[in-house]
A and B are shown apart, each in its own frame.
Chain A
Amino acid sequence: MLEKAVSGALVIISIAYLYMAKGLSFGSASQPGVGFMPTIVGAMAVVLSIINFISVMLKKDNKKANKKDDDTAPKMDIIKLVKFVAGCIVYVFMLDYTGFLIATFVVMVYLLKVTEVQGWVLPVIVSAGTSLGFYIVFEKMLGVLLP
């Protein structure tokens, strides 16, 4: 299912890219414009993505085999994934507002709880150590200007 969805999305992305590339000057063979290479690449991507989409759609659905695969394949914890990604998004915004040390500490505690580290002492110690350790290595030792 995911393979079909991604293949379909790639067709749409390729068509959108080719459409935008057509808005750029193609030029000529002796004087290529800014759209020269994007148009060629976009056209090839559209052709390939359509062929791929058709071949994925035409793949025989062997329901029994799929069911067997589903039974043996590891179950995915999508809720945990969403929580983890949300934490990372918040981290990017927090870095701007609170700076590296506070943002890293807070988000580390959150991510460690998302990954089900038991209790509070270990997450707090690991978060404090990580934020301080990376701050010292990057900012103090390597001279990187952290937010």
Chain B
Amino acid sequence: MSTVSSLLSGMAAVMTPTNFIASIIGVLIGTLTGVLPGLGITGALALLLPASYGLSPATAMIMFCGVYYGAMYGGSTTSILVNIPGEGASVVTCIEGYEMAKKGRAGAALAVAAIGSFIAGTMGTVGLTFFAPMLAKAALAFGPPEYFAIAILGLVLLFNISGKSPLKSALMVMIGLMVGTIGFDPMTGVSRFTMGIINLEDGIEFIIFTMGLYGVGEILASICKPEEQGEMMKFKFRDLYPNREELKRSLPAMFRGGILGFLIGLMPGPGMTISTFVSYAVEKRLSKHPEEWGHGAIEGVAGPESANNAANAAQMVPLLSLGLPFNSSGALLLAGFMIHGVAPGPMLMSTNPDLFWAIIASLYIGNVLLLIINLPLVGVFASLLKIPINILLPIVMVITFTGAYAINNSLFDLGLLLLFGVLGFILKQAKFDLAPLVIGMFLGSTIEKGLVQGMIISNGSFMTLLSRPLAGTMLKIGLAVLLFSILRSIYRAMKARKAAVV
């Protein structure tokens, strides 16, 4: 049977009433947990696993896949509306999305995020359908040196994502890396920089860090501005959706984000979040409206939101074709498969083709359902901004605290959330950029694991790392980009000094 006819039979299996309802329930729960900060895909799947015992394997898998996709769709909502990223993959959306919301274009940003998620999610699913086994094998070529190299390359390319002071950005990356080393050493389990605080031994949760810096920091900044109290946003119904110009600018970004996200998502580890940062950097570089970046450029929402959904689909590739989860949500999805006696991997397609194709088909149908559900919700979510800001701020504060508590059921996390909120507020007032701090913290553990394991494998020779084809190429590109950036900033500084003298 050809791929297309197998897919069609999978579609027929999903369209049975029970499976279709399961898909709807899955995408609804996924959207809800995506919208609520803190929970994300992992939280949603963890909550749903025990509830799926009574279902047939196919129905349960279809529901899990709905949750998996739905959570990524909903993730952008709080980033755009209140500058609180629900998970790592939504951090970048805050930068332009929240600026758009401040200008009364929250609806347009939310709609573009939903459309981009649909387009890129479908592109990712097409990639998964036709290239899964081949791509999974390629992804396995990555070893510790390659993880290290890609993380370093990512840092070099992204550290000055906002284009402000390179020195301050580099310092923020280092501080982020320092925060990332708090807790158990990933290799030996030795506790570091915890100052005897037991709760710090597991390290600092990335999402608590970002929710604090961005979300709580923004709330505190708004509290300080007396002129904003009692204000509410005014917008008309037609302002809720993107206009023709915005759609025209967003579409290429969505397709680029889809391709980038899918390729980056194939790498083990934090592909989804990295894909959003890379997409943002690419769109910023290609933009014909450089003056809008940092002030609400729609491509900065369309690209990253598309990238994270395509990466989400790509992370299903190794799971379905090799039975290997490349991230925590993949691991939970795998647990869901196992609970129902399904072992994903190379044998799934040959031993249980009906189930395999039903899962793939459910991803296509889930994407369509999510677009149908999310576009009308744009108006509802955007209307939240009509609430006077002095009422909205305490509500957002409480939902941020509740979402943060739900991650680990820890009151200590709430203390950290507040601490990072104050830190984010102070750094922002002192003109330090938060994005490099977040990138440093996020890539810290990948860099450390890759570096330490890579050095052991290469017997302490950095040249051996450079001689590996993939890792070496990435490190050389990173070095070239770094040198170019340094020379460019020296040239700019000299030019500015010359102009000042004249």
Contact = CB atoms under 8 A, between A and B. Distances in A.
B171 A10 contact: yes
Interface in B370-405: 390-391, 393-395, 397-399, 401-402, 405
Nearest to A20: B193
A38 B193 contact: yes
Nearest to B185: A34
A107 B401 CA distance: 12
B174 interface: yes
A10 B451 contact: no
Sort chain A's interface into a size bin: 35 or more
Interface string A24-49: 10001111101111100110110011
Contacts of B432: 6
A96 B411 contact: yes
Contacts of B187: 34
A115 B174 contact: no
A128 interface: no
B447 interface: yes
A146 B402 contact: yes
A144 interface: yes
Interface in A113-144: 114-117, 122, 126, 130-131, 134, 137-138, 141-144
Interface string B166-196: 0110110011011001000101101011000
Interface residues of B, number: 62
B399 A77 contact: no
B427 interface: yes
Contact of A115 (B47, B193, B229, B415): B229
A147 B223 contact: no
B224 A38 contact: no
B178 A52 contact: no
A77 B174 contact: no
Q: Considering the complex of A and B, which 5 residue pairs feature the smallest CB-CB distances, nearest first?
A: A30-B460, A29-B460, A111-B394, A115-B390, A45-B174
Interface of B: 32-33, 36, 39, 47, 167-168, 170-171, 174-175, 177-178, 181, 185, 187-188, 190, 192-193, 220, 223-227, 229-230, 390-391, 393-395, 397-399, 401-402, 405-406, 409, 411, 414-415, 418, 422, 426-427, 429-432, 447-448, 451-452, 455-456, 459-462
11 contacts: A38-B178, A45-B175, A52-B168, A78-B224, A80-B224, A96-B411, A112-B391, A114-B394, A115-B390, A117-B391, A138-B36
